[in-house]
Structure 1
Amino acid sequence: MTYDKHLIVVEKGKGEGTGGDIAIINEHIRFRPEVLDSFNVKGFSPKHYDLMVLCAAIELADRRWKRPAGWHRDLHVTIPATDVDTWLRPAVSQSLRSVMNHLTGDSWHFSFVGASNVTPIGSRQLPLIFDQNKTFAIAYSEGLDSRAVSALSGTKDEALCIRVAGKRQRRREGDSFFTQIPFKVRGFKAKESSFRSRGFQFAAMTAIAAHLSRITRIVVPESGQGALGPALAPLHNIYVDYRNFPTFFRKMEKFIRAIFDVSLRYEQPRLWSTKGQTLSAYLALPGKEQKHLANTKSCWQSRRVVNDGKRRQCGLCAACLLRRQSMFAAGVVEPPETYVVSDLSTGNLDVALSRIRGKADRDIMIEYGSVGARHLQHLADLAALPDTALRIHASQIGAATAQSYHDTLQKLKMMLMTHAQEWRTFLSAQGEQSFLRGWMDGGRYGRFE
């Protein structure tokens, strides 16, 4: 079986192409007019639109073909470009391949052909409505880090918040955002769930908005565990997750510089802080209260698993466990109904998972929960390793952040030690009977079964 796959993007009504799977713009890649209108501002150029088409094509290719056991795929993508000369420049094509190969662990090959249709936006030169004292852009999700770090980095007037989401989301108290992702891919069955290329979408869409706003600073909200943890403690037989790792952003800066001829900087102000420390710093700001954190969302589980009459968070996936650890460290008390799996103190998994009806869904929760808990434990265990064991990580991070090896190593060790203390304290608060402790001992279903 070959893992050399070809995706050919074509314009609707301009032929269907040959030699691979076909994706038609305005059929498989659909741009939503109401979202595109928010980009219809002075300064919007064909290369901005081309980058949106590229993001959609990359998502299609990344999710369309399931990974082999060895992870790596060869992915060939052909894209019609309205500013094709820009995309054919070696600096652009090479930096694009470099960032995508590093991010996903695949080999990407891009071909650009001249588009027949002009970009559907840019004809009306509307005022740049968000050009009001903005000093930084930030990819703004529903999560804790986005809420906290946007406030820690500046005032609401200074922050250009970019909501990158496939579905329309309502604003919550304390929320603000510029726009959502302007396209939707459809007409295919997603066979690969890793979706590492989503990091490119976040970084690219934020860069477009920053460029249009004449902003050169892009703030990455992820705290230390989320930015560094997936690379420091990768899952077995899985390519390292670089989606929030400094090396990815240095490659992304090079690509953005090649295409837009501007130097944007992706900053990671909370790289050396745990999420718990970030939340504590947020709560220390004037006017910030626990309720401004409690109404965020961290869970990535499907609605089927977490919807028991009311939309909740599962409470047991890796994202939820880190959220609960961090909220506990910051002294934030959440209502029990926040989570489907609310009680972590019981030693009886049937009791803990009683709200989840289907056996298959319960098995999924056990699998992801046990893996997530052990990941947090593994990350905590790194704090006790000798300096030599962390040398390769400190060297790589230091080179990407322009810091000395010694300073990087000390900051890394301090972040890991703080995480370890927070994790131990959180586990201790669940009690000796908690099924989480059984998972830490290597069990899948709990120590008492």
Structure 2
Amino acid sequence: MKRKIFVRLGRDDVKPAYDAADITIDMIDNFGALDRGLGQLLDRLFKLGAKPSEAAVDLMILAAAVYAADTGVSRERYADDGWTRMIDLNVPVAEAGFWKNQQDHLSQMLKFLTGDHWSFTFRHRPNNFQTFTKQPEKMDLTDFTQVSLFSGGLDSLIGAIDLLASGQRPLLVSHYWDGEASSAQRQLLEVLKERHGDAFESVRAYIGFRKLDFAEAGSDNNQRARSFLFYSLAVVAADAVASTNKVLIPENGLIALNVPMDAHRLGSLSTRTAHPHFIRSMSELVNALGIDVTLENPYRFKTKGEMARECKDRDLLAELAPASMSCSHPAQVRFEGAQPQHCGRCVPCLIRRASLAAGLVETDTTQYFLDDLKGSVLDSKSADGKNIRSFMFAAENLRQNPGRARFLVQKPGPLNHDDLDAYVGVYRRGMEEVSEILRGVRAKHVG
């Protein structure tokens, strides 16, 4: 069943009588300002003396609407096959013609990312919202060398440390909605500020949508479209500052490829948030809109352990690593009577544990809900053992048939043929890293 969503800019932006939209999202607050955290991000950039283009602002508004739909429309309720949804967005933009030319590319890009069918109608913004940018409070004298995503995870922390230790001056861009991500970002940025002072600036965007916004639709917690929003925020920042047009996406190669552990985890069941194909598609969209920004993952050929081992300030990394947040669902352990923390058993947690064991001399002091992997036999039908068992099977299959790696790395999505050998290498090394911490771990069906 298709869900039609009308994105509105203010009360006067009324949908046509023939538009039978199911849901309306208003992006303007009661004071006539851009809402949902988007206006606060622009204000922060203005205070830095930076001014983005209206095309970049359009991208940010669209990405927020896509994120709202992705998190607000229930797969269980509205996907005929239990997964694939049909979502139609009607979005106001400054230059509707530019966006109409990119509809097919945008739809295919988001289908790859979320597994859903997306369609779009673009219309001109209402007259009273023809521009959201304004003259900054001061001249743009920023000297940022790049914009870098800062999620509060271990990879983004290593990326920030490497830039600062190399004498670069990054602008770190963060998105948060849940408390765990916010807490990790805040703690890490405070320490980085103490150590490096004015060597960097940070912009944090609190953007999300509550269940009340989609009372008719239910909700979905997979958040496959979050990276589209996150990348768009960084593009706005890079477009705004005069000193750089480079956006860095710090993500290890194993997670970026995200090869399914087994045949049942195909398509969007395995996330593609930093997959090379999606980053390339995003870059093509941005450039087609006339936005001079490039996106790059500088760690795409490194494992997470290699990132940690080659970090330019390993002492600082060892100190801050426990405060970073890598878990895919840290709040889920509440159902087992614990405070939100790393579960220790999801795929990101396992790769994190393996990387710190391989990359640091110090013992990993991160608090994991499943702290001891070898203390007992783990039930592979339960949360404790499911991903661990899958990892063990995948690693064993790869050991028995190493040539399959060339096929497996291309399964999640297309890769540049010139880089194929490098991706095969990082996949093999990454799987071996995780295998090391799983030696002696017992996981099987219990009962």
What is the aligned counterpart of 1:343 among 353, 372, 383?
Answer: 372
| 1:133-168 Cα shifts (integer Å, max 9, x gaps) | x22222111111111123335646432211121255
Does structure 1 residue 415 correspond to structure 2 residue 426? yes
2:28 aligns to what? 26
1:318 aligns to what? 347
3-state SS, counterpart of residue 126 of structure 1: coil
Trace 1:272-283 onto structure 2 (pairs within 5 A): 272-282=301-311
Question: Do the aligned partners of 1:30 and 1:184 also contact (CA within 8 Å) in 2?
Answer: no
1:437 aligns to what? 442
Q: Percent identity?
A: 20
Question: Do the aligned partners of 1:78 and 1:113 also contact (CA within 8 Å) in 2?
Answer: yes
**Amino acid across the alignment from 2:386:** V
**Amino acid across the alignment from 1:305:** V
Question: Do the aligned partners of 2:149 and 2:248 also contact (CA within 8 Å) in 1?
Answer: yes
Question: Structure 1 residues 395 and 197, CA, compared in 2 at 3 Å: closer, same or farther?
Answer: closer
Q: Hey, what's the Cα distance between the residues in 1 that align with 2:294 and 2:90?
A: 29
Q: Number of residue pairs matched?
A: 410
2:331 aligns to what? 303
Q: Hey, what's the Cα distance between the residues in 1 that align with 2:438 and 2:425?
A: 20
Return the TM-score normalized by structure 1. 0.79
1:52 aligns to what? 60
1:99 aligns to what? 109
1:74 aligns to what? 86
Q: Hey, what's the Cα distance between the residues in 1 that align with 2:384 and 2:221?
A: 17
| 1:249-268 Cα shifts (integer Å, max 9, x gaps) | 11111100011342x33222
Question: Do the aligned partners of 2:405 and 2:427 also contact (CA within 8 Å) in 1?
Answer: no
Does structure 1 residue 370 correspond to structure 2 residue 385? yes
3-state SS, counterpart of residue 283 of structure 2: helix
Does structure 1 residue 249 correspond to structure 2 residue 250? no
Deviates more, 1:103-112 or 1:174-183: 174-183
**Amino acid across the alignment from 2:20:** G
How far off is 1:279 after superposition?
0.7
How far off is 1:63 after superposition?
2.1
How far off is 1:115 after superposition?
1.8
Q: Hey, what's the Cα distance between the residues in 1 that align with 2:263 and 2:71?
A: 21
**Amino acid across the alignment from 1:152:** D
Q: Hey, what's the Cα distance between the residues in 2 that align with 1:234 and 1:144?
A: 28
Does structure 1 residue 217 correspond to structure 2 residue 228? no
Q: Which has the higher contact order (CA 8 A, sep 6+)?
A: 2
Q: Hey, what's the Cα distance between the residues in 2 that align with 1:25 and 1:303?
A: 28
How far off is 1:438 after superposition?
1.8
| 1:100-139 Cα shifts (integer Å, max 9, x gaps) | 122122221111112223267422323366822x222221
1:160 aligns to what? 171
1:291 aligns to what? 319
| 1:67-118 Cα shifts (integer Å, max 9, x gaps) | 2335322211001223434323x1x333322321221222211111122232
Question: Do the aligned partners of 1:139 and 1:161 also contact (CA within 8 Å) in 2?
Answer: yes
2:3 aligns to what? 5
| 1:25-74 Cα shifts (integer Å, max 9, x gaps) | 23699333543311334432322322222112101221222223353222
2:418 aligns to what? 403
Trace 1:321-332 onto structure 2 (pairs within 5 A): 321-330=350-359, 331-332=361-362
| 1:236-288 Cα shifts (integer Å, max 9, x gaps) | 365353221111111111100011342x3322222222111111111x53763
Return the TM-score normalized by structure 2. 0.80
2:196 aligns to what? none
**Amino acid across the alignment from 1:74:** M
| 1:184-205 Cα shifts (integer Å, max 9, x gaps) | 3232255222221112112211
3-state SS, counterpart of residue 92 of structure 2: strand
How far off is 1:7 after superposition?
0.7
2:214 aligns to what? 188
**Amino acid across the alignment from 1:4:** K
| 1:334-387 Cα shifts (integer Å, max 9, x gaps) | 337x123222222166xxxxxxxxxxxxx9x97444332234335524643646
3-state SS, counterpart of residue 35 of structure 2: strand
3-state SS, counterpart of residue 334 of structure 1: coil
2:147 aligns to what? 137
3-state SS, counterpart of residue 208 of structure 2: strand
2:45 aligns to what? 39
1:174 aligns to what? 192
How far off is 1:232 after superposition?
7.2
| 1:303-340 Cα shifts (integer Å, max 9, x gaps) | 3625968653222222222211211112341337x123
**Amino acid across the alignment from 2:43:** D
**Amino acid across the alignment from 2:27:** I
**Amino acid across the alignment from 1:288:** L
Deviates more, 1:213-222 or 1:199-208: 213-222
Question: Do the aligned partners of 2:60 and 2:236 also contact (CA within 8 Å) in 1?
Answer: no
1:122 aligns to what? 133
Flag structure 1 segments of 5+ consecutive residues without an equivalent.
350-362
How far off is 1:290 after superposition?
1.2
3-state SS, counterpart of residue 174 of structure 1: helix
Q: Hey, what's the Cα distance between the residues in 1 that align with 2:405 and 2:338?
A: 46
Q: Hey, what's the Cα distance between the residues in 2 that align with 1:72 and 1:384?
A: 34
Flag structure 2 segments of 5+ consecutive residues without an equivalent.
194-199
